[in-house]
Structure 1
Amino acid sequence: GFCPSTTASDGTVTNLACPQGYGAILGTSAVCAFLEIGLSFLPPKVLKRIFPPIVTGTTVFLIGVSLITAGFESWGGGAGPCMARPETGYFSVCPNVGAAHAAPWGDPQWIGLGFLVFVTIILVEYFGSPFLKNCQVVVGLIVGIIAAAATGYLNTASIDAAPVVTFIWVKTFPLSVYGPAVIPLLIVYLVSMIEAVGDVTASCDVSRVEVDGPEFEKRIQGGVLADGLNSFLSALCTNTPLATFAQNNGIIALTSKFAAVFLATPDAVIGGMTTFLFSNVAVSGMRILAYMKWTRRDRFIVSAALSIGLGVNLVPNWFSYIITYTGNNQAVQGLIDSVEVIVSTGFCISAIITIFLNLILPEDEDEGELAHANPGSTELTEVVHVHEL
């Protein structure tokens, strides 16, 4: 391996600095990013065939559902070790024993901070101007940060210590390609592509532009291409690959003082905001699905995808004990780990199921189409309704 370590007399292993290992991660991810870049040049008809609304809608819905869990965890005080509420230790309270106003996970003060943000979003929707309604989530977050600062929950020491701005390539790493990680990373980029398609579709939906047709197909191609290029450039800038949801983080990272404000903000404030935000993602998925005709075939495909996707979100470790490998082959172990990641990620496994079933199941006639085929029956029904009225 790349990473050195030391072993104490009592057997405790301490991992030392590992710039070569991190450089291998960066180099391998940069090379594997060309898979997603290449797939973005597929003809629009192929992309439309692979990613119709039944696929993107289901994927977007499950992305939102899975993220709501993260929002709720933060709302309770944090998504770290303090969630287990240990009786003693550094994480017996959230975020840790050294923080100001620390409290156990789920404490009323954390719930109250998040609730303040959530209620602010609702009040802005009810009383706010059209402009404020469009940025209600930001307003809620600002109110939460102000309240946290006024009550002593904001850690200003980290803000004061942060530099005003930083730059890329301040520290560099030797790039290399780590063979056993190639296959797992290729799978990760396929997953990232599926997520990018869902995210672009959700953005189109909330922006009130079409989620079908030639223009939409071009946006999908551009989104997938941008996702792959961003991941490639991110590796060259000494950062790990970026998923679609994380693109703005690169800007925040360059303005460290601004980023420090968010890092100092209590997780409960962030959780109250992100819970609402991620729910909007799920609703966008539902709206995309609403555009379908909902034939028997459509209902079957969505049911099959959600049965596994929602089940995985509720029980993430259900597949963890299926494949047991005790060998020393790192490539095989990496492939097994990648499969487990895919199967234990709800939106990913559901996207694969939806794409597969949508490609192999034959089309069937909708009940509405049958009615149009026999217009007399529709007219007769309308006459009966008029007579009853």
Structure 2
Amino acid sequence: MKQATSTVYRGQASRRTFTSEWHNLVLGFQHLLAMYSGDVLVPLLIGHYLHFSALQMTYLVSIDIFMCGVATLLQLKQTPLTGIGLPVVLGCAVQAVTPLESIGGKLGITYMYGAIIAAGIFVFLIAGFFARLKRFFPPVVTGSLITIIGFTLVPVGFQDLGGGTPTAASFGNPTNLLVGFLTIIIILVISAFARGFMKSIAILIGILVASFIAGGLGQVSLTPVSEAAWFHTPQLFFFGVPHFNLSAMVTMMLVSLTTMIESTGVFFALSDITGRQLTTKDLERGYRAEGIAAVLGGLFNTFPYSTFSENVGVLKMSGVKTRRPVYYAAFLLLLLGLLPKVGALATVIPEPVLGGAMIVMFGMVGVQGVQILHKVDFTKNSNLLTASVSIGLGLGITMYPQLFQHMPTEVQIILGNGIVVTSISAVLLNLLFNHRWATEK
């Protein structure tokens, strides 16, 4: 009798394990869809600018997806040297698009990859120093930074909801608006009335259901799937052996500083959500992982990688705070990178659908920042000024990045990014008002 009971318990445990892993897989797929379009946009933009052939574009997109999986795994698995150990997803750093286009267009593709490798080594080497700046990121700074990360990206969601290109005649047409806002409504309904696992995948359900409806309205084309290859193998130096140019390397090093600042904000957001306090060593390992990912990107002729804030919103919405689903997302990225035809399926999701989902996700990131700011003592005028001025500057620069168009390119790279401006402003104002250089040990 005892043996039979034991067998039943083992069977129940086995079923629970299977169900749990299935849930993690689905949650991982949700993470993948949240970042996929934003990631593949980078190789598409750069490849188009540099007039890549169809074969080159196929390689570029496939290797990019594959390396996203590699970069994510580097962050998930914490080792003595690398890995933040938080449920974070990495994708192409969109800040690098314009500088890389400039380098590739003026000097050649191989110099572009040489600059990426140099920037990756730079990030790896300064990781320890940058991590020690953690003491300059109290809640008033991290809250301002995370708030601006979320809210400055909401307009990107609205742009996609309208159809992608504001100057296009079809932008904001009734079909786009219907599909985009319907996506938001579906996500809200699932979040409000579903229970358990279904509630945790509200974004995934919203994307899939809205895409199905959009297909019925003629907004889904399967052409990218039919044109994609079945199998692809990553290759070192596909476009040639990297070459190095000092100006190009310095430019990408400056870009890497902006991505490190943004990653810092995402790390602290995830720390707040998961309840895990980050140490200086944690941050150092996280930055090192991004440095190694960039070096690998250069060697395999793809791009630098940074944390994706979209997935912070997914994590917040799902309520599942473990790394397990993100491991599945990473392995799915590896698989899709090897099977371009399968990976192309994710590219057929209409922009209005993604835009609707992005509005929810980025809004959640912004609110996460507000929640952190709620811990700040705003009866102190110093904290009030630090947050208000920093967020105001970040929003202003995001709206008018051309404000610094007459400055040197190197200055524009730094000051033309609202998130970076918010971070710099918040750190400096916090130092000025709260005299942290004197009180911190």
TM-score range, shorter chain: 0.7 to 0.9
Report the identity percentage.
Answer: 25
The match for 1:337 among 401, 405, 409 is 409
The match for 1:333 is none
**Quick one: structure 1 residues 125 and 216, their matched pair in 2 at CA, closer, same or farther if it must change by over 3 Å?**
farther
The match for 1:67 is 153
**Quick one: structure 1 residues 56 and 35, their matched pair in 2 at CA, closer, same or farther if it must change by over 3 Å?**
farther
The match for 1:386 is none
The match for 1:34 is 121
The match for 1:108 is 174
Shift of 1:231: 1.4
Q: Distance in 1 between matches of 2:357 and 2:396?
A: 26
| Cα contact 1:200–1:219 (8 A) shared by 2 | no
Q: Which amino acid aligns with 2:134?
A: K
**Quick one: structure 1 residues 237 and 71, their matched pair in 2 at CA, closer, same or farther if it must change by over 3 Å?**
same
The match for 1:330 is none
Once the two structures are superposed, residues 3-45 of structure 1 have per-residue CA deviations (whole angstroms, 9 ceiling, x without a partner) of: 999xxxxxxxxxxx9797111111111112222212322496x
Q: Which amino acid aligns with 1:290?
A: H
| Cα contact 2:242–2:298 (8 A) shared by 1 | no
Q: Which runs of 5+ in 2 are unaligned?
A: 1-48, 52-103, 310-328, 437-441
Q: Distance in 2 between matches of 1:19 and 1:239?
A: 18
Superposed CA RMSD = 2.8
Q: Does 1:293 align with 2:365?
A: no
| Cα contact 1:20–1:175 (8 A) shared by 2 | no
More off after superposition, 132-141 vs 117-126? 132-141
Q: Which amino acid aligns with 2:270?
A: S
The match for 2:221 is 155
Structure number with larger C-alpha Rg: 1
Q: Secondary structure of the residue that 2:231 maps to in structure 1?
A: coil
| Cα contact 1:37–1:229 (8 A) shared by 2 | yes
Q: Distance in 2 between matches of 1:221 and 1:351?
A: 18
How many positions carry a matched residue from both structures? 313
The match for 2:140 is 54
The match for 1:383 is none
Query: By percentage of residues, which structure has more helix?
Result: 2
**Quick one: structure 1 residues 139 and 216, their matched pair in 2 at CA, closer, same or farther if it must change by over 3 Å?**
farther
| Cα contact 1:62–1:347 (8 A) shared by 2 | yes
Once the two structures are superposed, residues 335-376 of structure 1 have per-residue CA deviations (whole angstroms, 9 ceiling, x without a partner) of: x21311322211111111112222343359xxxxxxxxxxxx
The match for 1:314 is 399
Shift of 1:250: 5.8
Q: Distance in 2 between matches of 1:262 and 1:318?
A: 36
The match for 1:84 is 167
| Cα contact 1:56–1:201 (8 A) shared by 2 | yes
**Quick one: structure 1 residues 264 and 345, their matched pair in 2 at CA, closer, same or farther if it must change by over 3 Å?**
same
| Cα contact 2:210–2:353 (8 A) shared by 1 | yes
Q: Distance in 2 between matches of 1:19 and 1:162?
A: 30
Q: Which amino acid aligns with 2:175?
A: Q
| Cα contact 2:146–2:265 (8 A) shared by 1 | yes
The match for 1:228 is 291
Shift of 1:279: 0.9
Q: Secondary structure of the residue that 1:152 maps to in structure 2?
A: coil
Q: Which amino acid aligns with 1:194?
A: I
Q: Which amino acid aligns with 1:192?
A: T
The match for 2:112 is 25
Q: Distance in 2 between matches of 1:114 and 1:144?
A: 8
Shift of 1:218: 4.2
Q: Which runs of 5+ in 1 are unaligned?
A: 6-16, 86-92, 94-103, 324-335, 365-389
The match for 1:166 is 232
Q: Secondary structure of the residue that 1:293 maps to in structure 2?
A: coil
Q: Which amino acid aligns with 1:314?
A: M
The match for 2:308 is 245
Once the two structures are superposed, residues 50-95 of structure 1 have per-residue CA deviations (whole angstroms, 9 ceiling, x without a partner) of: 33332222121111122111110000011x3xx214xxxxxxx4xx
Q: Does 1:355 align with 2:420?
A: no
TM-score calculated relative to the size of structure 1: 0.73
The match for 2:244 among 156, 162, 177 is 177
The match for 1:194 is 261
